[in-house]
Amino acid sequence: MKRNLISMLDVKDELEKIIDLGIKLKKTSKKGENIELLKGKTLGMIFEKSSTRTRVSFEVGMTKLGGHAIFLSKNDIQLGRGETIEDTALVLSRYVDLIMYRAISNKAMKEFAKYATIPVISGLDDKEHPCQVVTDLMTIKEHKRKLNGLKFVYIGDGANNMSHSYLLGCAIVGMSIKIVSPKNYWPDDFYVNEARKMCTKVEITDKIEGCTKDADVVATDTWVSMGDEKQKVQRLKDFNGYTIDKKLMSLAKPDAIFLHCLPAYYDYEVTKDVAHGPQSVIFDEAENRMWAQIAIMVNLCK
Ligand code: CP
Ligand code: NVA
């Protein structure tokens, strides 16, 4: 049966295996050894929203694997003129071996995955961003040498795609997770309940004071995700006071690391001195999108 990665739940049983494969292939490739494990394969990449990292990391990753990637912007394909998701999925499945889809909604993502006869990888939708969270866990493992038992604190929009995928990802690997967010922006119940089924240490709070105490990892994301632009003024008001600054970071463990999937908006969700400071690993994280996705694609094609 074909497999997809459109939710962290899709990799529940093999998450650590994929992370370890990403770390291994990164080392192998950096030694100058060949990692052409998907020679002759083609990845189709559909984008309904903007991207820097997802587009480039998938395309270069596929090249390193000996395969080929095709960039399909919604504006340039018939999907943008009203061809159905069903027909688009059925047609593309006849040409390419894998699809990466950055979708406007989780509903569109699920519909595409239902009709595609080849593996579908989410490049983000409004509910989840699984490739980014596999990447972030790989980055944490590289820096901390373990995942289980670590304390993870996410501050910001608790109802967005990163927060939901972090809830599931941290729970799968046995990390405690605290989401710190104004009450109107708490995660969907579904993700909290699924996380709690796997891990007892899941906390949702609006209390920012002292929230990073003893954290091993502190993370955030934009307060205004793609698709939320109309609510920007209200959101900036609602999130006022939730900026990660040096003071908040100093409460975390001395060797704590800071993560941000990027793009970052400085002095909103985080100050630049933290994001570009000694505890930040945001550029390792950006690079690791490529290595984690290499492992994801190899895993789905096997
Ligand atoms: N983090 C991330 O997905 O970045 P892009 O929007 O640039 O792809
Ligand atoms: N939450 C952000 C992530 C961007 C990579 C968004 O959806 O815009």
* pLDDT tens, position by position, 56-80: 999 999 999 999 999 999 999 999 9
Specify the pLDDT at position 225: 98
Q: Output the CATH code of domain 131-285.
A: 3.40.50.1370
For the chain, domain boundaries: 8-129+289-301, 131-285
Q: Give the closest residue to 292 by CA, choosing from 21, 7, 16, 31.
A: 21
Average pLDDT in the chain: 98
Distance (Å) from CA 1 to ligand 2 centroid = 30
Q: How far is ligand 2, taken at its centre, from the CA of residue 215, in Å?
A: 23
Atom 6, ligand 1: residue with shortest CA distance: 51
Average pLDDT of span 241-253: 98
Q: What is the pLDDT of residues 157-169, one digit of tens each?
A: 999 999 999 999 9
- Alpha helices per DSSP H over 31-177: 53-64, 85-95, 106-115, 130-144, 161-173
Please give the pLDDT value at position 289: 98
Question: Residues 140-152: what's their mean pLDDT?
Answer: 98
Mean pLDDT of 265-274: 98
Tokens of 52: 């820097």
Predicted local confidence at residue 90, as pLDDT: 98
On the question of pLDDT at 199 being above 90, the answer is no
What residues does 44 pair with on adjacent strands? 70, 99
Round to whole Å and give the CA distance between 48 and 42: 20
160 lines ligand 2 (CB under 6 A): yes
Predicted local distance difference test score (pLDDT) of residue 168:
98
Closest Cα to atom 3, ligand 2: which residue? 225
Residue 6 to residue 153: CA distance in whole angstroms: 24
Give the residue whose CA is nearest to atom 3 of ligand 1: 54
- Which pLDDT band, with edges at 50, 70 and 90, does 200 fall under? confident
pLDDT category at 290 given cuts 50, 70, 90 is: very high
Does position 1 have pLDDT exceeding 90, yes or no? no
Q: What's residue 243's pLDDT?
A: 98
Segment 80-125, tens digit of pLDDT = 999 999 999 999 999 999 999 999 999 999 999 999 999 999 999 9
Cite the active site residues: 102, 129, 132, 221, 261, 289
In terms of CATH, what superfamily is 8-129+289-301? Aspartate/ornithine carbamoyltransferase (3.40.50.1370)
CA–centroid distance, residue 225 to ligand 2 (Å):
5
Is 157's C-beta closer than 6 angstroms to any atom of ligand 2? no
Output the CA–CA distances (angstroms, integers) from residue 48 to 216, 222, 253, in the order listed: 35, 19, 39
- Establish whether residue 261 lines the binding site of ligand 2, counting it when its CB lies within 6 angstroms of any ligand atom: yes
CA angle 109, 177, 50 (to 5 degrees): 35
Q: Which residues line ligand 1 (CB under 6 A)?
A: 51-54, 124, 132, 261-262
User: Fold identical between 8-129+289-301 and 131-285?
Assistant: yes
What pLDDT is recorded for position 45?
A: 98
Q: Please give the pLDDT value at position 250.
A: 98
- Reported as a single tens digit per residue, the pLDDT across 210-239 is 999 999 999 999 999 999 999 999 999 999
Is the pLDDT confidence value at 32 over 90? yes
Counting residues of the chain whose pLDDT is more than 70, the rounded percentage is: 100
